[in-house]
Amino acid sequence: MKRIGVLALQGAVREHVQKLESLGCEAVLVKQENDLEQLDGLVLPGGESTTIRKLLDRYELLEPIRTLAQQRLPMFGTCAGLILLAKELVNYMPHLAVMDVVVARNSYGRQIDSFEVKLDIPQIGEAIPAVFIRAPHIVSAGEGVDVLARHDGRIVLAKDNHLLGCSFHPELTSDTRILEYFVSSMV
């Protein structure tokens, strides 16, 4: 059984936990440094990236998570989680700065502009539902980064070795294929 942490400071924590458990994984709520021990992977959920960053600092989790990423622990960042992983942010200072992508925050407008589309992702499947809520997008990706999906020409899903980042919220749909892809990528 894979033991996967879910950063449980703010955001779509419960939805990720439910999806991971439905896939037969043990979901571990990560609220402090010792919760990071003996994980097979870590999910950084969507929420509000500035708030999550403040909480990462308050609970002294930023450096331990960065260290685990540098040690190649598989990580999956959704929406705000992608923002946390990015090496660079447009007009903002980066947070973990471990995934070789440049990300623009709130690329798809305000909360009222939220929408859902179906994406065909060759490595994962067809007609995968993607919920965009104040979503970021990947402006550019480094040479070693696999671009997995685009929406309206913008990169919305990419993989940088052991790091997977997406602009949208797959945990808010009943489709588990993207999370399955993440779980299956773990050694």
Catalytic positions, written as ranges: 79, 169, 171
Q: Which amino acid is at 94?
A: P
Copy the structure tokens of residue 40.
């097979």
Neighbours of 151 (CB within 10 A): 18
Task: Name the burial class of residue 176, with classes exposed (0-12), middle (13-18) and buried (19+) by CB atoms within 10 angstroms of its CB.
Answer: middle
CA 62/CA 66 separation, integer angstroms? 6
DSSP 98-158: -EEEEEETTTT-SGGG-EEEEEEETTTEEEEEEEESS--EEEEE-TTPEEEEEETTEEEEE
* Angle in degrees, 0-180, between the axes of helices 13-22 and 177-184, rounded to the nearest 10: 70
Both ends of the chain: CA-CA distance in Å? 12
